[in-house]
Amino acid sequence: MEDVRSALTAYVTEGEPPLGLSTSGVLASARRSRRQHLLTGAVALVVVALALGLAVVVLPHRAPVAGPPCPSSSDTRSALVDRLSCVVGKAVRSLLDPEAQITRLTIPGETPPEDPFHLIADAIGDAPGEAIFHMGVRVTDSLGSGSVYVLILPTGNAGGPPCGEPDEITCRTEPTPQGTMWLSTLRTGDAVKNRVALAVPNALVQFWSTSSGVLEQKDVHLPEQRPEPTLTLAQVRQLALTPGLGL
Amino acid sequence: MGASRDLDFSEYFAARVQRFRRVAFAFCGDWHQAEDLVQAMFVQLYRRWRRVRPDTVDAYARRILLNLFLAGRRTSVREYVMASPPDQESPPGRDTPVRLDVERALSGLTPRQRAMVVLQFLEDLPVAEVASLLGVAEGTVKSQTARGVEALRAVLPAPTAEER
């Protein structure tokens, strides 16, 4: 191995040019590099701190993502269901906590659709709008489980649910540019329900929200699963006024 | 504190710069690039000068140099553009036939093979230390170095009876 060692030593020593590096030059470069290194670290630290601060300030108040627009076609029953489901889904989601879990309320044996807001259309005629459109979702958040329902009836100029029901807590009517509105808060089983109906020219649009995550059905006593209905009466009113819910 | 640090560093630079420049040249085969590598090595070393123990400073510097060389194989450290070839005559002994043959043999090796040969035969490092520096098994160092040595021996003059 000595021959290899000697050959390598000769390779690096024979004809070796004079040293082009000086102590002062390298030291100056090293000091400059060290300063830049420290400065870069400090700047990076400041940037990270600013980014974290910005995230803390901005993220909790960020606006919900708009998402793609809803389809506008109502030529067929299926297209109308898609359009209404999209409008209802967007409107309800915009009022809920982004962390809330939304699941479809179903009767035994019913398979929940992929989109929990997909409306059921019970036909009462042949035209696309001649059907009863409805659905309900359970909403579970940090306060417990509640629900939100929608019912759209193709009964032009029909009245809303009249005041004076047995379990009524409050009830009133209100004229709006879109049509007459009925607003009530009722007791249903152990739960409470906020309900708003709006009579538009060709339909009655009704939303309600309860403080129980159990499906509302005839002869079913609803347990209270959160202190208040998922949506306040004002929020339910806002839902009823959502544009694009006519048939 | 800073003055003392610079004094220590300057002393270390003066004592080691030539040796490390030779190692860098053996790595890359170009004196300009070797100086760039060594300068970059000392600049990096300065940043950590206070934290490096005196008994490990050579090993630490060698590791920086090796990493710079291997990284430079992927992204060239610096590119030289010259308007015309240098008109200076090569120093005596610079381009002897044996030297050119050694250079050719070394340039036929992969950068890691070449580094193994240089560290083992120019720096006299044990196989275990070379393996640790390159992050490979000792067996890999042995087999790769054997190929490098074979390539070098092929271009070296046959040893005389006394050399054997």
What are the structure tokens assigned to B104, written together?
């050719």
Q: What is the mean pLDDT of residues A36-62?
A: 82
For B51-89, what is each residue's pLDDT tens digit? 888 888 999 999 999 999 998 765 444 443 444 444 444
What is the per-residue pLDDT for A186?
A: 93
What is the per-residue pLDDT for A1?
A: 77
Closest in B22, B45, B90 to A15, CB measured: B90
What are the structure tokens assigned to A7, written together?
């050959």
B25 and A34: CB-CB below 8 Å?
Answer: no
A15 and B93: CB-CB below 8 Å?
Answer: yes
Q: Which residues pair with A132 in a beta bridge?
A: A122
A13 touches B at CB < 8 Å: yes
Q: How far is B62 from chain A (nearest CA, A)?
A: 17
Q: What is the mean pLDDT of residues A3-17?
A: 89
Question: A199 and A164 in one domain?
Answer: yes
What is the per-residue pLDDT for A156?
A: 58
- A70: in domain: no
B39 and A21: CB-CB below 8 Å?
Answer: yes
Determine how β-strand A179-188 pairs with β-strand A168-176.
antiparallel
pLDDT-above-90 percentage for chain A:
47
pLDDT tier for residue A72 given thresholds of 50, 70 and 90: confident
A3 and B117: CB-CB below 8 Å?
Answer: no
For B127-144, what is each residue's pLDDT tens digit? 999 999 888 999 999 999
Q: What is the mean pLDDT of residues A181-209?
A: 92
Q: What is the mean pLDDT of residues A232-247?
A: 91
- A215: in domain: yes
Which residues of chain A neighbour B159 with C-beta distances below 8 Å? 3
The torsion angle over the Cα atoms of residues B81, B84, B89 and B90, rounded to 10 degrees, is: 30
**Rounded Cα distance, B27 and B41, in Å:** 14
pLDDT tier for residue B158 given thresholds of 50, 70 and 90: low
Query: B162 pLDDT exceeds 90?
Result: no
- The three-class DSSP label of residue B29 is coil
**Rounded Cα distance, A74 and A134, in Å:** 17
Q: What is the mean pLDDT of residues A126-135?
A: 90
Where are the extended beta strands (E) located within chain B? none
Question: A171 and A233 in one domain?
Answer: yes
Which of the two residues, B100 and B62, has the higher pLDDT score?
B62
SS3 per-residue string spanning chain A: CHHHHHHHHHHHHCCCCCCCCCHHHHHHHHHHHHHHHHHHHHHHHHHHHHHHHHHHHHHHHCCCCCCCCCCCCCCCHHHHHHHHHHHHHHHHHCCCCCCCEEEECCCCCCCCCCCCCCCEEEECCCCCCCEEEEEEEEEEECCEEEEEEEEEECCCCCCCCCCCCCCEEEEEEEEECCEEEEEEEEEECCEEEEEEEEEECCEEEEEEEECCCCCCCCCCCCCCCCCCCCCCHHHHHHHHCCCCCCC
- Closest by CA to B39, choosing from B66, B57, B58, B20, is B20
**Rounded Cα distance, A112 and A103, in Å:** 8
Question: A16 and A83 in one domain?
Answer: no
A3 and B163: CB-CB below 8 Å?
Answer: yes
Question: A81 and A26 in one domain?
Answer: no
Q: What is the mean pLDDT of chain B?
A: 82
Query: A20 pLDDT exceeds 50?
Result: yes
Question: A86 and A37 in one domain?
Answer: no
Question: A18 and A104 in one domain?
Answer: no
Domain housing A28: 2-58
Question: A202 and A136 in one domain?
Answer: yes
Which residues of chain B neighbour A31 with C-beta distances below 8 Å? 46
What is the per-residue pLDDT for A215?
A: 92
- A65: in domain: no
Sequence-distant (≥ 6) Cβ neighbours of residue A143 within 8 angstroms: A226, A227, A228
What is the per-residue pLDDT for B161?
A: 53
B121 and A8: CB-CB below 8 Å?
Answer: yes
Which chain A residue has the Cα nearest residue B151?
A4
Cβ contact A122:A132 at 8 Å:
yes
What is the per-residue pLDDT for A56?
A: 80
ipTM for the complex shown: 0.80
B159 and A3: CB-CB below 8 Å?
Answer: yes
Which residues of chain B neighbour A5 with C-beta distances below 8 Å? 121-122, 124
A14 touches B at CB < 8 Å: yes
A37 touches B at CB < 8 Å: yes
Q: How far is B25 from chain A (nearest CA, A)?
A: 7
B122 and A37: CB-CB below 8 Å?
Answer: no
Lowest mean pLDDT segment, chosen from A139-143, B15-19, B156-160: B156-160
- A36: in domain: yes
Question: A236 and A167 in one domain?
Answer: yes
Question: Most confidently modeled of A107-111, A203-207, B2-6, B50-54?
Answer: A203-207
Query: A87 pLDDT exceeds 60?
Result: yes
Question: A129 and A231 in one domain?
Answer: yes
What is the per-residue pLDDT for A120?
A: 93
Cβ contact A168:A186 at 8 Å:
yes
pTM given for the model: 0.49
- A72: in domain: no
Query: A66 pLDDT exceeds 70?
Result: no
Q: What is the mean pLDDT of chain A?
A: 88
A interface test, pick of B121, B160, B162 with most A CB neighbours within 10 Å: B121
pLDDT tier for residue B95 given thresholds of 50, 70 and 90: low
Query: A143 pLDDT exceeds 80?
Result: yes
- The three-class DSSP label of residue B115 is helix
Question: A146 and A54 in one domain?
Answer: no
Burial zone of A141 (CB within 10 Å; 0-12 exposed, 13-18 middle, 19+ buried): middle
Q: What is the mean pLDDT of residues A66-79?
A: 84
- A218: in domain: yes
Q: For chain A, what's the residue count?
A: 247
A15 and B94: CB-CB below 8 Å?
Answer: yes
Closest in B6, B92, B149 to A15, CB measured: B92
Question: A159 and A187 in one domain?
Answer: yes
- A63: in domain: no
- The three-class DSSP label of residue B91 is coil
**Rounded Cα distance, A15 and B22, in Å:** 12
Q: How far is B103 from chain A (nearest CA, A)?
A: 8
Question: A82 and A47 in one domain?
Answer: no
- A18: in domain: yes
Q: What is the mean pLDDT of residues A42-57?
A: 87
Q: What is the mean pLDDT of residues A19-38?
A: 86
**Rounded Cα distance, B122 and A94, in Å:** 72
Domain tally, chain A: 2
pLDDT tier for residue B160 given thresholds of 50, 70 and 90: low
Which chain B residue has the Cα nearest residue A24?
B10
What is the per-residue pLDDT for A197?
A: 92
- Closest by CA to A209, choosing from A185, A174, A190, is A185
**Rounded Cα distance, A147 and A133, in Å:** 17
What are the structure tokens assigned to B45, written together?
């070393």
DSSP state letter for B50: G
